[in-house]
Amino acid sequence: MRNIKLLWATTAFLAVCTLVLLVALVNDRIHSVEPSPDHDLHDGTSEDAGSVVAVIGGKKITSGEWQKNTLNRYGKEILNQMLDRAAIRLESEALGITVTDSDIDREIKQMQEGYEDEDAFYQAMKEVGMDKESLKTETYYKLLLERIATRDIKITDKEVDQYLAAHPGEVQAHNQIRFREIVTSTLEKAQQIVKQLNKGVSFEILAKDQSLDDATRNDGGDRGWVEENDPFVDSRILQAAKALEINEISAPIKLGGVGYAIIQVTGRKNMDPAQQAEIREKIRRQLALQKAPSLNDLTRQLREKYQAQVLDPALR
């Protein structure tokens, strides 16, 4: 997940800079602005410098200076990104390859795996400067390029089955369980809590007041959604959770380490056939990309095919 966030942070920054570059290119006053000797700061007296966007120590920074420095520093990267996208778009049109809104939404949904929920995912994207629209745009070009690269590659059902067999924990989806828990140090304390729960005392209140688990106590004991074979959850707890009905409270469970737990199942998500089919298609796509040429190499080839040229010497 860390690498994914870094990738989106980079693309988000380039997307923002693209807007700045477009403004700079249509602003014919930029080329008349000369950098001043004190780190591009001046007194703002030039009429061609544009409006003042910032002030520091009595010095003014104009929009023209800001635009010119942005162009000089990031212009090459942004122009290359624009050429890459244009080449991908031209090739996809020539081959009749399309990406629908549903394709984009499904891909973004898969990106959300590992996040607590959709809101947490978009908050993470917001923190790296990526809003929903820019995320959709990046996903659109990513899917187009992948489909160009894999258009002639066929992955058989047997290859998918072999991959599933070799990577069961990596790709298989499992039923999920959500439950609350209260952890105690002794069996006697756990039995006392079970009695209170059976009398109608709130599980959340008891968890906040008496649970020893720092990770869940403040949330009323809520563990959130976990897979029914999650290796990071005590197997005794998972076994007990599988046998409980929704809202049913367990007997004290001896933990693998020290102490006991009482749990209450609050929800279940069972994998349906559609999910399994989606997993298989995800694997098929992954295997096809492994057989495909490098996406970076393919992009360079497309730029050559469509005779991309950078005419401005400063941007080469």
99 and 60 within one domain: yes
Please give the average per-residue pLDDT across 239-253, as a whole number: 95
The token pair that represents 20 in the structure block = 């700045």
Confidence of residue 50 (pLDDT cuts 50, 70, 90): confident
Task: Judge whether 129 and 13 are in contact, CB under 8 Å.
Answer: yes
What is the rounded (10 degree) CA torsion for 17, 18, 20, 23?
170
| CA–CA distance, 137 with 107 (Å, rounded to integer) | 12
pLDDT digits (tens, 9 = 90+) for 71-93: 888 889 999 999 999 999 999 99
What amino acid is encoded at 122 in this protein?
A: Y
pLDDT digits (tens, 9 = 90+) for 286-316: 999 999 999 999 999 999 999 999 998 888 8
Sign of CA dihedral 198, 199, 200, 203: negative
* 282 domain residue, yes or no: no
* 74 domain residue, yes or no: yes
Please give the average per-residue pLDDT across 241-259, as a whole number: 92
64 and 148 within one domain: yes
* Highest mean pLDDT (candidates 111-125, 127-141, 170-184, 222-236): 127-141
Please give the average per-residue pLDDT across 248-263, as a whole number: 92
Which residues are within 8 A (CB) of 157 and not within 5 positions of it... i.e. 6 or more apart? none
From 21-25, 157-161, 249-253, the region with the lowest mean pLDDT:
21-25
* Domain carrying residue 188: 174-269
pLDDT digits (tens, 9 = 90+) for 207-229: 999 999 998 999 999 999 988 87
243 and 188 within one domain: yes
If we measure between CA atoms, which residue out of 294, 302, 292 comes closest to residue 91?
302
149 and 297 within one domain: yes
87 and 9 within one domain: yes
68 and 142 within one domain: yes
The DSSP element (H or E) to which 27 belongs, if any, is: none
The token pair that represents 66 in the structure block = 């800001």
8-state DSSP, 31: G
| Residue pointed to by tokens 């659109």 | 140
* 17 domain residue, yes or no: yes
What CATH number has the domain bearing residue 182? Answer: 3.10.50.40
261 and 192 within one domain: yes
* 306 domain residue, yes or no: yes
| CA–CA distance, 263 with 44 (Å, rounded to integer) | 68
Residue 29, pLDDT above cutoff 70: no
* 45 domain residue, yes or no: yes
Confidence of residue 201 (pLDDT cuts 50, 70, 90): very high
199 and 307 within one domain: no
* 264 domain residue, yes or no: yes
233 and 113 within one domain: no
* Residue ranges in the chain assigned as alpha helix (H): 2-26, 63-95, 101-111, 118-127, 132-149, 157-166, 168-171, 187-198, 203-210, 214-217, 235-243, 273-291, 295-305
149 and 10 within one domain: yes
Find the helix packing angle between 132-149 and 118-127, rounded to 10°: 90
Number of domains in the chain: 2
Q: Degrees (nearest 5) of the Cα angle 102, 103, 107?
A: 115
139 and 179 within one domain: no
178 and 265 within one domain: yes
